[in-house]
Structure 1
Amino acid sequence: MKENLISILKERFDKTLDLHPNSNWDEVEEKLLKDKKLLETLCLMEETGGEVNFVDLPIFSGPVFLDCAKESPKGRRSLCYDKEARIKRKKNAPNSSVMEEAEKIGIKVLNEDQYYTLQELFEFDLKSSSWILTEGELRERGGALFCEKRYGRVFTFHNGAESYYSSRGFRGYVEI
């Protein structure tokens, strides 16, 4: 799987030069071959439907591998926001949550600014939605945020953090 993933990543890299205008594939591949943990994380991202791609843009603190799937990754849907929300859910609690899965995979969840900026570069979540990082008072009050794109514009919505839907997942990234 890992050798196959590297060739898939190279193909995506070559097709999306605008996502990493000053990057060189040979340097990226060298990092991948040296960092087994990173490669394992990318395999998990890919296995859960992330369609991972290399991105080197100012919205991140450095180069990252990012979920670039057209819709929210299918293997990361039907999750409430975090462990606290999952435990509080009275009926039909999901097996996991966004924040637990992100930690398990080894990725960070996109924040609202990152989500909006990425939507300017390529369209995604036209039929699905993705939880985004929710901190502070909103989360303390039991809420969480998610985004989607409809009618040619991006929307941010809120839900109780314990809610979950079959069409809502989450997108993430791993720094390298």
Structure 2
Amino acid sequence: MTDSFAAPSPCMNTLYREHSSWLEGWLRSRLGDRWTAADLTQDAFVRVLAAERSNSLPSLREPRAYLLTVGKRLLVNHYQRRSLERAYLEALQHLPEELAPSAEQRWLLLEALHALDELLDGLPLVVRRAFLWAQLEGLGYACIASRLQVSERTVKRYMAQAYEHCLLVEL
């Protein structure tokens, strides 16, 4: 059996058994949706398990506090994802019908948008903007600098920061 398919440790089993319903209840009270709360609870424990396997899980003297932090981050990601979806669907409504993508193409585009959003998560907004303008709109550094009202040298620094972030996320 490979390490990626190894059974969770006994402490992970205990953590899940003792705290998963509490976390799910907390998420449900914030979302008003038990199915999404259940999904986010599972995502939280997948992240905790991944942290344990990579030896980056801190000592959990207060497991609920740790799970609450993970849950809050997942909740923020969930709302950001919904906002991104709404903005995308709204933009589609303004397209002429003959240019509108099919349902399958919309789904693929949404998945790509989510992946890009997740990849750039953690970058300062100004760095994300510079990177997206360069990559998606093909703008040059001078144009980006003008839009952001910064120097070209600053734009170069932003782009280096964005590329470095993307490379580190991919590792």
TM-score > 0.5 by shorter chain = no
- Bigger relative contact order, structure 1 or 2 (CA pairs below 8 A, ≥6 apart): 1
Between Structure 1 and Structure 2, whose CA radius of gyration is higher? 2
Q: Counting strand residues as a fraction of each chain, which structure ranks higher?
A: 1
Q: Counting helix residues as a fraction of each chain, which structure ranks higher?
A: 2
Give the TM-score normalised by the residue count of structure 2.
0.29
